[in-house]
Amino acid sequence: MATKLWEKTVQVDHDVETYTVGRDREMDMYLARYDVLGSLAHIAMLETIGLLNRAELEQLTDALREIYAEIVAGKFVIEDGIEDVHSQVELMLTRRLGDVGKKIHSGRSRNDQVLVDLRLFIRSEIESVVEYVTSLFKALIAQSEKYKHVLIPGYTHLQVAMPSSFGLWFGAYAESLVDDLMVLQAAYKVTNRNPLGSAAGYGSSFPLNRTMTTRLLGFDSLDYNVVYAQMGRGKTERIVAQALANVAATVSKLAYDACMYNSQNFGFIKLPDEYTTGSSIMPHKKNPDVFELTRSKCNKLQALPYEITLITNNLPSGYFRDLQIIKESFLPAFGELKNILSMVTAMVTGVKVNETVSADSRYDLMFSVEEVNRLAHDGMPFRDAYKKVGLDIEAGQFSPVKEVNHTHEGSIGNLCNEKIEKMYCSILEDFDFDTYHSAFERLLGNEC
């Protein structure tokens, strides 16, 4: 059995070890490459304050870059008996370099090590999620423009209300993603601060240059107060989880609409055949399983912020092992959301629209407000016009004019999609992912 970094003369009970380590080795595989990047920045800083000499820095840098390449190639494992990714990397360095490998931990704790790993992981995953959100946004805008003149009923209380359009329907979800992107950007800014150097939460007697590691890792700024840096564990995950949950909420509502609109009783859309499933007994069935599963998966993601809250809300300041459990739900959530977004983008792109919905007499009454407004426009007081049309409907004498002329901003005839796209692009440009990409390239020695 491997010796723990912290173990002295007493060996921990096997069941206690199994219980406390839990799924940490599995979860830490998400963080492996980021642990190496954090270590590359840390040792570069250690050399400038005299805790490593130039030769030792070069040895450690070369070895860490080799380990990083092994991680990327899928050859890295956390061995049995090794607690976590931090211990595995340090063990590999010590095997390759001897005592020099043991110097890498000077001036830090596994507490701030996992903090920086999480920040780097989250930052990269937010960028990836943004790419998937952008693909869905573009698909929604494209469909909004393509079908902007196709009318469908709008509903209140699930009762036919007023004319809407596929342009409005698709475009509404596109604009919802604008707000979701804004919240993702806020979560990114909270994430993009450097906790490294806070050690166990109370700093270090070594003269650490935290500004240097901030620059080397491409962070916007520091988490300055070392106690607060540790308090950020759990809080950051909760904020980011809420941003992911917002995207999930938008997609869940879209999925519900799509399931409803695809049903025979509505018949507004037809899903691509290859994205539907059949029944074992009813040969006519084409089930919207993708959207049904999307709805449930999104609802599960919306529970994540509350799960993290329940783990953290009764903890005082300082580090506690409770925080480890957050990884198990939080780290996989990014992949789950990206999988959802990929499927929904394909569905939205391939959906077929019924362009004759408004011709169905079941929806004649959605044009009643149009008639009231026409009469009011011609000079009849609005309340008189409202009463006249209401009486015509009761008498079965209402005859709809199935044309609409909405011109104000955001209406059927003036979707403002170009303004929605402009808002989206403006937020997207403010993320500045290039800064951290360049920092990583320098750490890995890939910059020309």
Q: What is the DSSP letter of 193?
A: E
Q: How many CB atoms lie within 10 A of CB 39?
A: 28
What's the chain's average pLDDT? Answer: 92
| Side chain identity, residue 35 | D
Q: What is the pLDDT of residues 119-132, one digit of tens each?
A: 999 999 999 999 99
Region 281-309: mean pLDDT is 87
Residues 6+ away with beta carbon under 8 Å from 111: 198, 199, 200, 201, 230, 233, 319
Q: What confidence tens digit (pLDDT) does each residue in 144-171 have? A: 999 999 999 999 999 999 999 999 999 9
Cα–Cα distance, 367 to 358 (Å, whole number): 10
What span, in angstroms and rounded, lies between the C-alpha atoms of 430 and 433? 9
Element (DSSP H or E) covering residue 270: strand 269-270
**Cα–Cα–Cα angle for 358, 361, 366, rounded to 5 degrees:** 60
Instruction: Flag whether pLDDT at 6 surpasses 60.
Output: no
Helices (H), 270-325: 289-302, 304-312
The pairing of strands 221-222 and 193-194 is parallel
Q: What is the CA radius of gyration of the chain?
A: 28
Band (274; pLDDT cuts 50, 70, 90): confident
| Number of residues in the chain | 448
Q: Where in the chain is the domain with CATH 1.20.200.10?
A: 111-154+163-198+228-359+411-433
Q: Pull the structure tokens for residue 442.
A: 């320098």
Residue 10 CB coordination number (10 Å) = 6
Q: What phi and psi, each to the nearest 5 degrees, are found at residue 306?
A: -75, -35
Does position 25 have pLDDT exceeding 90, yes or no? no
Q: How far apart are CA 96 and CA 85, in angstroms?
A: 17
pTM of the model: 0.92
pLDDT per residue as tens digits for the range 178-225: 999 999 999 999 999 999 999 999 999 999 999 999 999 999 999 999
**Helix axes of 32-48 and 110-146: crossing angle, nearest 10 degrees:** 130
Report the largest interatomic distance among the alpha carbons of the chain, rounded to a whole angstrom: 95
Residue written as token pair 């026409």: 374
- Residue among 386, 359, 358 at smallest CA distance from 372: 386
Active-site residue list: 157, 279
- Tokens 């997207």 belong to 428
Closest C-alpha among 345, 352, 328, 330 to residue 294: 345
111-154+163-198+228-359+411-433 folds as: Fumarase C; Chain A, domain 2 (1.20.200)
Please give the angle made by the CA atoms of 230, 231 and 234, to the nearest 5 degrees. 100
Distance of CA 216 to the CA centre of its chain: 25
Distance CA 265, CA 107 (A): 66
